[in-house]
Structure 1
Amino acid sequence: MATIPNVDNKRYQGLIISIALFLSLIGALLAFTFYTSNLLERNTALIDQTNQVANSAQAVIKDLFDLDSSYGEDTKSPHIQRVLNRLEQNTTLITSSIAAIEQGGTITDAEGKSYDLPNIDSDAQANIAAANEQWTALEPKIQAYLKDADNVMVPSADELTQAVEQAKTSSLFINDSLDSLTKDVFNSAERQATTIRLIQVLGVAAIFTYFLIFVFFFVRRLRETDAEAFAARRETQEIMETVNTGLFLLDKDLNIGQQHSHALTNIIGTDTLAGENFTNVLRGRISDKDLNTTRQFIEQLYNPRVKEKLVDSLNPLNKVMLHNAHGAEGTDSRYLDFKFSRVYEDKDIARILVNVNDVSDAVYLEQRLEKERSQNDMQIEMLTTILNVNPKIINEFISNTKVHIDKMNNILKNPGSSQFELEGKLKAIYREMHSLKGEASALKLHSFTKIASDAEDKLDVLQNQGKLSGNNFLPLAVHLDDLLSLSNTIETLGERINQAVPKNTSVSKSADATKSAAPRATPASDIQKPKVTVSENPAIHDSAINMAIAGGNDIDLSDESNDDQLSFYRDFAKDIAARQGKQVQLNSQTLAQVAIPAHLKNVVKEISIQLLRNAVVHGIETPAVRQSADKPAVGTIDLEVQGDSRDLIITLQDDGQGIDYDSIRQKLITKGRFSAEAAAQLNQDELLKQLFASGFSTKDQADEDGGRGVGLDIIKAQVKEYDGKLNVNSELGQMTRFTITLPKV
């Protein structure tokens, strides 16, 4: 429905009064004309009536003379009857007409039409009185004759003679009086007609003059209004052509108004905008979801019950990216900011004013500032880590990170043709990325953790998508570059801080030895499935996963203090526990005493990190659950490293909930890896194998600390690579113990 514009009636008040006065003059003239027409009609009727009286008087006298000459003729003859009837009718007519003329009464003509006779002036009154006097003398004699005129038994000659004699005397006076009356009435009517014509001429002249004056002032006012409107349009046009923002109006149907700022064409990148539908302009340039949300948002703006400030916070076009227009050349994608404001007419929402700004430069500046802020935060984070962590651990992390990146690069370079090879490639990359993330998380290097987590998200998608191709791995190269850049940054920062301090030769050598001794990842196709043996002890389930692989290095003892390593593990466990809403205490009696061979330092550290994370995330319960099970609120984790001449033994035990094999079985069914019937047939050894399978986790939601099913897979791969053994002991609701044996040579 079209909106009625709001008009200021005061502006047109003079025009309305002028038109009303003009119409009043015309109405008055028409009313006067109608009145005078009626008056003339009455005068004409009066003239006709006087003429009729005169004619009737002549007819009466003629009939009397005719009857007198025909006296003795049979009164029943047609001639006598016709004359008598006419005489009677004319006598009655004259009597009534004279009375009507004299008193200004109502008369009825032969056709039955009634007329109101006007009051006559004094001269006419004298003439009608004289005629009436003569008629009064004649009329009784006529009536006396007519009484017995057709009765043969009664003689009427005397009455007729008297009537004839009186008619001879009165006829002249009646005719003279009626002629004078007719002249007086005619003259009076003529005077009235003259007066009426004069008044009509003057009225028409006044109306015409007023019309000319009205037109003159109206045209002048119209020209002034047109000039004002033209000036306003010119000012509006100048504003619309000069303003740097896009301005336009939207109706309820989301149609753009006919007027919009010149800058809007450049901002939107479309020439034809006036009258176009707003959704058609945006379609294909923003997402369908944003387009639908925009339509709903504008509909809410037209809802008077919705607060404008409230709905403005839901604006979907706030700094939105507008993609290239279809078929438009040289039109870059840009960030636009749309502001919507209601336009009211009285209290009704008439239209929506849209203000569009190209905020691309501001957005790009914000992004650049945000990137610089992130880099500054990252450098502060790195500086904090460098200042609070043993330099040996930092150097090991840098070295290990580069080793992980090199391994992932080599894995990416290695082509895979079959689906089995691609899946093995994916698992290998996933293990390296997860190991890197674990060590970064332990050092509270959240920048590393964030990049690694993003990469794991993509790896998780690939792991669940089914069929793989070589191109699926290309986006991972970006994450590797980012990780390498961060690694170089923290290394540079460390060198700048310690540039005045002499380098510890043994530490450098140890780092070089670590880098040179870092084992390369074995292709997934070469990894043999572990052999699992289950203890028959009903209380404690003891499984041993024996993995054999060739290799070994000489032992190179480091001068690093294991007390720092224990402190590192304790901080790591507490950080994870805080994020998981748990409380833990890490204990170790042997870690600070045992000498770990140089070639096993990294693998021991990586295995310990994965075991600690697994214990906190999956083993230790929340304080509320522990207290309900009559356990201390703080969970206990024991990490022991022991060695003899042949082997190095890592043992990690927690007093948590233990391994729930029924939960593993149900998770296998939920993930679709086994049917309910097949899962029911799995024994504990087979269920434990699935627990160590890549991509399997009992955690419902993945987060920074777990849920991706990679941690135990890393441990399994490391133990296999170093030809070690893995034992898992668990008692449901009480404890879980991992025992890993690594040969020293």
Structure 2
Amino acid sequence: MTVSTQSVNSRYRGLILSIAAFLALIGVLLAFTFYTSSVLERNTTLVNISNKTANNAQAIIKDLFDLRSSVGEHINSPHQKRVRERLEDNTQDIDRLLISMREGSEYNDEAGNSYKIPDITTASEVAALEEAQQDWNKLKPLITAYLKGASDIRVDSSDELALAYEQAKTSSLRMNDALDKLTSEVYKETERQANTIRLIQILGVAAIFAYFLIFVFFFVRRLRDTDAEALAARRETQEIMETVNTGLFLLDKDLNIGQQHSRALNGIIGEDRLSGENFADVLRGRISDKDLKTTRQFIEQLYNPRVKEKLVDSLNPLNKVMLHNTSGEESATNRYLDFKFSRVYEDKDIARILVNVNDVSDAVYLEQRLEKERSQNDMQIEMLTTILNVNPKIINEFISNTKAHIDKMNNILKNPGSSQFELEGKLNAIYREMHSLKGEASALKLHSFTKIAADAEDKLDALQNQGKLSGNNFLPLAVHLDDLLSLSNTIETLGERINQAAPKSHASAQPMKKAAVSASLSSANHASVANQSVATASFVSGNDIDLNDDVADEQLAYYQDFAQDIAVRQGKQVQLNGHNLAHVTIPERLKKPVREISIQLLRNAVVHGIESPEARQAAGKSAIGSIDLEMQRDAQNLIIVLQDDGQGINYEGIRNKLIADGRYNSEEASTLTEGELLKTLFTSGFSTKEHADEDGGRGVGLDVIKALVKEYDGKLNVNSELGKMTRFVITLPTA
């Protein structure tokens, strides 16, 4: 339930105005009290001054009587002098007091105290003061005349003293009466003012008390109504929170969950208590540490007013995130949750973050299922395209070779290995088989095969680099072999269906022959002239099969397509030329190794031998690299020759790579001959390519060639000239 800002402001405006009126009433009463206090203080001062004046008049009579009683005493005696000084001071003091009361001026006493004497304004007060002034005017000249000669021994002042004394008896009494009248008038006025003050204070207090009662009654009722509205709003909010099937809660800057949240949140998150808990603690262990750190940073940015909400929303790390099960129950499964974050503003400040979370597991599983089906459809379309565009014999050979590779890898996996040497040999053997299978699949553009094989190669490469091996390290490879076998069976089934549905006279589709293609520079190195024999082996002779011109053209197109795909990925341009492919008979048992060797040699030439177009032109060569594939046959041997006009073998580059990989130190590497350096190119796991990719860099291709040549008792000859060419000559006995 939402309460408008306007109604809230109106409610508080009334409260503020009521309190202001209440305070104003109190302020008026206090102001009046202060005013009446000042009036009372003025009257008190006036009374004190009047009494002081009367007291001074009495003192004057006393001093005159004292002086008259001490006639005959020396005039400069201490007693005489003290009385005369007191008489003179009192005379001056009465004079100042009367003037101050008449004019309302400031009066300073002997002690240095200052009094502000108020003006006398009422007629009775003025008359009383005037009467006292007249009597003083009669007495003052006589006292002044006496004091003028009283201190001179040569002057007789007794007469002046007698006159002053006689006049003082009359004037002082009349002054006292006048000042008493003045004091009585002031007292009467003070009493009237006090009564008025009491009345006004009683009325003011009564008004304040009545206003307070009204105020309390009105606002208690308003508060009760507000509480009822808040209760109704809370009830509505609670009903919403209990009804919605999404998780709703608020987050503060410290990632603390608010006290109110939807009931569905507990079930979605899988926690019984969430109110007041830290959001990061709830997610810890259920998502990765990296996602948790990113979530913290993401929410910090949401609280940053300078960052636009739409912009930061695209960086949400909890969009369809998998929440791991931490309950320990086997029946519980991981779920996918989708968190949406929105800012909550108070005025223009970001006060909270509203989080809406939904369980999207079903939708994600459906997407995954659809994606899997889509991938399978794409895979089948890919396979159909290959089947329809490649000679059926090549497809059948691929299926047969794939199964042979898989069987061989299965047999290798089954063979136990106890020592590190045996496990490393087992690893290298599987690596070679997987690399050969990937090469054939890549040549047929079967990317599904290629991806599975490439993933398996990544795991094999990691095993090569981890050092110590164990039998359990090979277990995950079984999954890849099952996937490859499944794909092989699928393409075989599709091929059989197409062959059954096709007319008997249907000729296989002929692929287009391609010449120059383009691709990216790889840091492969081949260099100066060498002619090295690598390995020999023997085999049992097989049957010879003639290749007609169509099949020869199919073989050439097959290799050209393969070279084209690699060149495109590597950013290079190549021209593959075939020689004598139509006139050479290949024994049945040599068809598989010939194809594998040719594929590996082609990949090696494009990836490592041919330079980029820019590098070739800078070296004065044509931008298009030339590769020649030739097959020869004599009475005893089948000879495969592959030559490229690339950069040749760089032996110093091999030497530096061996040092960089830590296989040799600088001193040991400097003693290696070109033959020894060349042999390292054919060892498993060594490559001069800086970064591995789909086409090379793992150091397996030449190892595959070496293994095949040894398996068939053949010979391998390498001839290279730095910056000009590299030629591989493979000799395989036919008998």
TM range (shorter): 0.7 to 0.9
In the alignment, structure 1 segments of 5+ residues that lack a partner are 508-537
Q: How much has 1:702 moved relative to structure 2? A: 2.3
Three-state SS of the structure 1 residue aligned to 2:672 is coil
SS, match of residue 357 in structure 1: strand
Is the counterpart of residue 41 in structure 1 residue 41 in structure 2? yes
Q: CA deviation at 1:481?
A: 0.4
Say if 2:26 is the partner of 1:26: yes
Residue deviations 1:506-562 (CA, integer Å, cap 9, x gap): x9xxxxxxxxxxxxxxxxxxxxxxxxxxxxxx9964333452334333446688833
Contact 1:107 1:117 in 2 (8 A): no
Structure 2 match to 1:205: 206
User: Alignment partner for residue 536 of structure 2, among 500, 522, 547?
Assistant: 547
Q: Structure 1 CA distance, aligned partners of 2:604 and 2:251?
A: 58
Alignment of 1:30-179 (within 5 A): 30-54=30-54, 57=57, 91-107=91-107, 113=113, 114-145=115-146, 147-148=148-149, 154-156=155-157, 158-159=159-160, 162-163=163-164, 166=167, 173-174=174-175, 176-179=177-180
Tell me if structure 2 keeps the 8 A contact 1:669–1:676.
yes
Task: Report if the CA contact (8 A) 1:652-1:738 is conserved.
Answer: yes
Q: Is the 8 A contact 2:538 2:733 kept in 1?
A: no
The equivalent residue for 1:365 is 366
Residue aligned with 1:498, SS? helix
Change in Cα spacing, 1:501 to 1:66, as seen in structure 2 (3 Å) is closer
Counterpart of 2:415, as a letter, is N
Over 3 Å counting, the alpha-carbon distance change for 1:630 and 1:226 in structure 2 is same
1:499 aligned counterpart, secondary structure? helix
Asked whether the 8 Å contact 1:434–1:711 carries over to 2, the reply is yes
Separation in structure 2 between the aligned mates of residue 73 and residue 718 of structure 1, nearest angstrom: 160
Q: How much has 1:685 moved relative to structure 2?
A: 3.1
- Structure 1 residues 35 and 327 mapped into 2: Cα distance closer, same or farther (>3 Å)? farther
Please give the alpha-carbon distance, in whole angstroms, between the structure 2 residues aligned to 1:689 and 1:64.
148
Shift of 1:165: 5.3
C-alpha distance in 1 between matches for 2:725 and 2:486: 42
Describe the shift of the 1:547–1:169 C-alpha distance in structure 2 as closer, same or farther (beyond 3 A).
closer
Question: 1:612 deviation in Å?
Answer: 2.3
Give the structure 2 partner of residue 621 of structure 1.
Answer: 611
**CA distance, structure 2, for counterparts of residue 736 and residue 92 of structure 1:** 138
Is 1:611–2:601 an aligned residue pair? yes
Distance change (3 Å), C-alpha of 1:189 and 1:503: same
Q: Would you say 1:446 and 2:435 are equivalent positions? A: no
Give me the whole-angstrom Cα distance separating, in 2, the residues matched to 1:186 and 1:503: 144
Q: Check whether the contact 2:539–2:733 (CA below 8 A) recurs between aligned residues.
A: no
**Is the CA contact (8 Å cut-off) linking 1:269 and 1:331 kept in structure 2?**
no
Residue identity opposite 2:596 in structure 1 = E
Query: Match for residue 13 of structure 1?
Result: 13
Change in Cα spacing, 1:557 to 1:110, as seen in structure 2 (3 Å) is same
Q: How many residues end up aligned between the 2 structures?
A: 709
Describe how 1:33-432 pairs up with structure 2 within 5 A: 33-54=33-54, 57=57, 91-107=91-107, 113=113, 114-145=115-146, 147-148=148-149, 154-156=155-157, 158-159=159-160, 162-163=163-164, 166=167, 173-174=174-175, 176-325=177-326, 332-432=333-433
Letter in 1 for 2:630: E
Distance 1:148-1:372 versus aligned 2 partners, 3 A rule: same
- Percent identical among aligned pairs is 72
Show CA shifts across 1:247-268 (max 9, x none).
4444444444444444443333
Moved more, 51-60 or 713-722: 51-60
Task: Return the TM-score normalized by structure 1.
Answer: 0.84
Q: Is the 8 A contact 2:100 2:117 kept in 1?
A: no
The answer as to 2:643 corresponding to 1:653 is yes
Distance 1:32 1:442 in 2: 108
TM superposition shift of 1:82: 7.0
Alpha-carbon distance in structure 1 between the residues aligned to 2:611 and 2:61: 145
Q: Post-superposition shift, 1:410?
A: 1.1
Shift of 1:470: 1.0
Worse overlay, 407-416 or 584-593:
584-593
Q: Which amino acid is the alignment partner of residue 719 of structure 1?
A: V
Deviation at 1:103, TM superposition (A): 4.6
Is the CA contact (8 Å cut-off) linking 2:441 and 2:449 kept in structure 1? yes
What secondary structure is seen at the aligned counterpart in 2 of 1:733? coil
What is the Cα deviation at residue 488 of structure 1?
A: 1.1
Give yes or no for contact 2:104–2:116 (8 Å, CA) kept in 1: no
Per the alignment, residue 517 of structure 1 pairs with none
Q: CA deviation at 1:618?
A: 2.6
Query: How far apart, CA to CA, are the structure 2 residues paired with 1:74 and 1:669?
Result: 136
Indicate conservation of the 8 Å contact 2:547/2:584, yes or no.
no
Please state how far the C-alpha of 1:377 moved relative to its aligned partner.
0.7
Q: 1:701 aligns with which of 691, 699, 704?
A: 691
TM-score (norm 2): 0.85
- What are structure 2's unaligned runs of at least 5 residues? 509-526
Partner Cα distance (2:24, 2:528) in 1: 115
Range with greater deviation from structure 2 (210-219 or 141-150): 141-150
CA contact (8 A) 1:42 1:118 kept: no
Structure 1 position 201, deviation (Å)? 1.9
* Structure 1 residues 179 and 493: alpha-carbon distance in aligned structure 2, compared to 1, 3 A threshold: same
Deviation sequence 1:630-652 (CA, Å, 0-9, x none): 43333333333333444333333
